[in-house]
Structure 1
Amino acid sequence: MTAASLLAFAGLCLVLAITPGPDTFLVLRFSLSRPGAGMAAAAGSALGSMVWAVAVAFGLAALLEQSAEIYRVLKIVGGLYLVYLGVAAFLASRKHTAADAVDLEVRRTSLRSGFLAGALSTLTNPKVGLFFLAVAPQFVPHDGSAIPSTLLLGAIDALVGSAYLVAVALLAGRAVAWLKRPAVTTWLERVSAGILAALGIGTIALSAES
């Protein structure tokens, strides 16, 4: 692969990364409690993306393209997980009062939780695998190096996506630290939780119709 083709692929990854999706709102949700947890979610998302790249490289993700049923089931599982995250986040935000909200330590989310949530969100999103299936052949040279080339593309996608999500986490964390208004933080947490749940419900509804 040439440098030009790698830059073109990186640009495509950037366009997809800045398009709001489950990963963006998930990172935002965790960042509002703790910027480090948001960055951990970004790292988890990057790991999930690399797992999909490995699956595509070795032909495992081709099952998604060949079986509509597998694709539908995976989408429903991912949708249910997003609904769970949204509901759990909303319920957690209701427990915060103006008194305990002053202490940010009470509102912090563990790095492990953020990482696992980011990884599971991406792993249960079949669109990531289909993206590699559809796009990788356009950039992989026909010289017998399909596996290493696909893994390289996966690494680029993970790097670009995680860099954008880390930026989201840092900006969200700085905004919360600057405002330091418990009511505003709680409102933002509930909005992001609602968006996650809505995305999950929409995914499930669309999967059930197809």
Structure 2
Amino acid sequence: MTLSSLAAFVGLCAILALTPGPDSFLVLRCSLSNVKAGLSAAFGSSLGSIFWAGLAGIGLAALLEQSAEAYRVVKIIGGLYLIYLGVSAFVHSRRSQIASQQHGGPGVSGQMRSSFFAGLVSCLLNPKVGLFFLAVVPQFLPSGEESFGLTMMLGVIDFAISMIYFGILSFVATKAVLWLKRPTVTKTLERTSAAILAVLGVGTAVSASS
């Protein structure tokens, strides 16, 4: 791989990371609790790229490209999961408000674990990430070669870029909440981001079944 190809891939990953999507809203929602929860969601979501790179590198992810049914099933499951995240986030915002008044709210470690797994599962159930590594990554590999190692390296690069962007998003969101530290504003942001996740999930599931 030439330096120009590597630079082009980095630029493409940066553009895709900056494009708003379910992972961005998930990181934003988790960051409203605290920066550690936001970074955990960012790490989980970014780590999913390496998983998809591994599947693409050994050829298993080609199933999504060859089978419309498999792609549809994964997309529907991903949409349902986003709906679940949105609904559970909305319910959690109501319960956490009461719990924080009575018991001080859930522990940070518990939030970090749940945020990490939410980010990871969200990425793993997003077939578009798998198709990215199947359709786009080969364009940056040396002609006539299928290198598992190089594919994984590109996956790590995508992970790093996503982590940097999501990390910045998490810090900015957390600082904004601290600056606006008003219960009504925080509650509105939490429920709005939860609603966006649910709407994205409905849209994903409907587009897959149509």
Range of TM-score over shorter length: over 0.9
Q: Which amino acid aligns with 2:198?
A: A
Which segments of structure 1 move beyond 3 Å, counting only runs of 4 or more? 96-101
Is the contact between residue 98 and residue 182 of structure 1 (CA under 8 Å) also seen in structure 2? no
Q: Which amino acid aligns with 1:199?
A: L
Match of 1:82 in 2: 82
- Rounded Cα–Cα distance in structure 2 between residues aligned with 1:51 and 1:97: 36
2:171 is the counterpart of 1:170:
yes
Is the contact between residue 99 and residue 105 of structure 2 (CA under 8 Å) also seen in structure 1? no
Unaligned runs of at least 5 residues, structure 2: none
- Rounded Cα–Cα distance in structure 2 between residues aligned with 1:180 and 1:99: 18
Match of 1:117 in 2: 118
Q: Which amino acid aligns with 2:192?
A: V
- Rounded Cα–Cα distance in structure 2 between residues aligned with 1:121 and 1:130: 15
- 2:105 match: secondary structure: helix
- Rounded Cα–Cα distance in structure 1 between residues aligned with 2:46 and 2:177: 25
- 1:7 match: secondary structure: helix
Q: How well do the aligned residues superpose, as a CA RMSD in angstroms?
A: 1.9
- Rounded Cα–Cα distance in structure 2 between residues aligned with 1:159 and 1:96: 32
Aligned pair count reads: 208
Match of 1:189 in 2: 190
Within-5 A mapping of 1:1-210 = 1-97=1-97, 100=100, 106=105, 110-142=111-143, 144=145, 146-209=147-210
Structure 1 length-normalised TM: 0.93
- Rounded Cα–Cα distance in structure 1 between residues aligned with 2:129 and 2:98: 40
- Rounded Cα–Cα distance in structure 1 between residues aligned with 2:27 and 2:34: 10
Structure 1 residues 123 and 98 mapped into 2: Cα distance closer, same or farther (>3 Å)? closer
Identity of aligned residues (%): 56
- Rounded Cα–Cα distance in structure 2 between residues aligned with 1:183 and 1:7: 44
